[in-house]
Amino acid sequence: MSDPELSTSTALAPESGAAQATTRRMVLNMGPQHPSTHGVLRIVLELDGEIVRKAGPEIGFLHTGIEKQAEALNWQQVVTLTDRMDYLSNLGNNLAYALPVEKLLQIEIPPQAQWMRVLLTELSRINSHAVWLGTHALDLGAMTVYFYCFREREDILRIFELFSGQRMMTSYIRIGGLALEPPRGWQQAVRKFIDALPSKIDEYEDLLNANPIFLRRVQGVGHLPLERLLALGVTGPMIRAAGLKWDIRKAEPYSSYEKFDFEIPVYQESDVWARYRVRLEEMRQSCRIVRQALDGMPEGPWKADAPHVVLPDREKMKTQMEALIYHFKIVTEGFRVPAGEAYVPTESPRGEIGFYVVSDGTSKPLRVFMRTPSFGNLQALPALFEGNLVADSVAALGSMDFVLGDVDR
Partner 1 sequence: MEAWNHEAFTGWSTELGEALAWVRPEKIVDLCRYLHDEQGFERLSGVTAIDRYPLEPRFEVLYLLHSISRNLRLKLKVALPGSDPVVPTVTTVWEGANWYERETFDLFGVRFEGHPNLKRLLLPEDWEGHPLRRDFPVHGHKYSYQNE
Q: Minimum Å distance from CB 201 to partner 1?
A: 28
Q: Which of 358, 394, 395, 396 binds partner 1 (CB under 8 A)?
A: 358
Count residues near partner 1 (CB under 8 A).
40
The 8-class DSSP code of residue 303 comes to: B
Under the binding rule (CB under 8 A), the answer on residue 102 touching partner 1 is no
Can residue 376 be called a binding residue for partner 1 (CB under 8 A)? yes
Q: Does the protein bind partner 1 through residue 408 (CB under 8 A)? A: yes
d(CA 325, CA 391): 63
Give me the DSSP letters along 173-220: EETTEESSPPPTTHHHHHHHHHHHHHHHHHHHHHHHTT-HHHHHHHTT
**Span interacting with partner 1, options 204-212, 273-281, 319-327, 373-381, rule CB under 8 A:** 373-381
Residue 67 touching partner 1 (CB under 8 A):
yes
Three-state SS for 130? helix
- Between 349 and 354, whose beta carbon lies closer to partner 1? 354
Binding to partner 1 (CB under 8 A) within 209-228 occurs at 228
Q: How far is CA 27 from CA 1, 53, 57, 267, in A?
A: 14, 10, 13, 35
60 in contact with partner 1 (CB under 8 A): yes
For the bound state, the minimum distance from the C-beta of residue 305 to partner 1, rounded and expressed in Å, comes to 20
Q: Which of 46, 252, 269, 313 is in the footprint of partner 1 by CB under 8 A?
A: 252
407 within 8 A of 372, measured Cβ to Cβ: yes
Are the beta carbons of 236 and 406 closer than 8 angstroms?
A: no
Of the candidates 6, 189, 230, 264, which one interacts with partner 1 according to CB under 8 A? Answer: 230
What lies within 8 Å, CB to CB, of 118 at 6+ separation is 255, 256, 257, 260, 289, 293
Candidates 246, 253, 327, 334; binder of partner 1 (CB under 8 A) is 246
Three-state secondary-structure class, residue 315: helix
Give contact residues for partner 1 (rule: CB under 8 A): 59-60, 63, 65, 67-69, 71-72, 103-104, 228, 230-234, 244, 246, 251-252, 340-343, 345, 352, 354, 356, 358, 366-367, 369, 371, 375-376, 378-379, 408-409
